Amino acid sequence: MTDSFMDRAQKGMGAIERLLTRLPLVQEYNDKELRREADHRLRQTLVTELEQEKQRLYDVQKKLLRAGGLAYMDDADGAIQKLQTLIDRIRTASYGYAGLFAAVKIQEEQLDALHRFDVALAERAHEIKATIDRVETASASTEAIGHEGASFEQRRIVTWQAVSDTVTEFQRLFDTRSQALTDAAYLADAPPAPEEWME
């Protein structure tokens, strides 16, 4: 492996670790008085991260436009709009009023499942960042913009579609977590614990 690959990997790990440290802890969900605040903090953290990624997409869109990439604006607009819809959904969703958060005591298994949802959301946010990294790289080849070179065109389609797909996965996970807060049965759909938890 090259040094630059290792540098990128370490930088990426640092980003997700920083995001994970801002997530609510299991103990915060255990305290009834802190549940709503912990959930609010989670949402604010995710919104902040996703807003930064949306700005990066805007920046890529502007570079493409300046380089004569008018043909790519539909892809860029679609990805940005999808990400904005997700941000609005997270920002405006009600939190901590019913179901799981209304319970006087949440069982340990429920807390673990909720925390796994939170970690998975942080990981999905990092995946969105990594996907936008690929969009930046694929869009940087300004010589190919405006030409019908198949390899560049294919790369462009794949990368912009990947942003949309990753945002859709995040949306599904967030919706399932939201349902779990009102109906604990949905906690069974929580992602598995990361391997390092099992050690």
Give residue-wise pLDDT tens across range 74-118: 888 888 999 999 999 999 886 655 556 666 566 778 878 888 888
Cβ atoms of 181 and 98 within 8 Å: the answer is yes
Q: According to the model, what pLDDT value does residue 49 have?
A: 92
For residue 191, give the DSSP letter. Answer: P
| Model pLDDT for residues 12-49, shown as the tens digit of each residue | 556 667 777 777 776 677 676 677 778 888 889 999 99
pLDDT at residue 147 above 90?
no
**For the chain, percent of residues with pLDDT exceeding 70:** 70
Q: According to the model, what pLDDT value does residue 157 have?
A: 57
32 or 166, which is more confident: 166
pLDDT, the chain, mean: 76
Q: According to the model, what pLDDT value does residue 2 have?
A: 41
**For the chain, percent of residues with pLDDT exceeding 90:** 22
Q: According to the model, what pLDDT value does residue 110 have?
A: 80
> Which residue, among 11, 45, 6, has the nearest Cα to 130 in the 3D structure?
11
Read off the amino acid at residue 175. D
> Would residue 131 be called left, alpha or beta, if left means φ above 0 and alpha means ψ between -120 and 50 degrees?
alpha
pLDDT at residue 142 above 60?
no
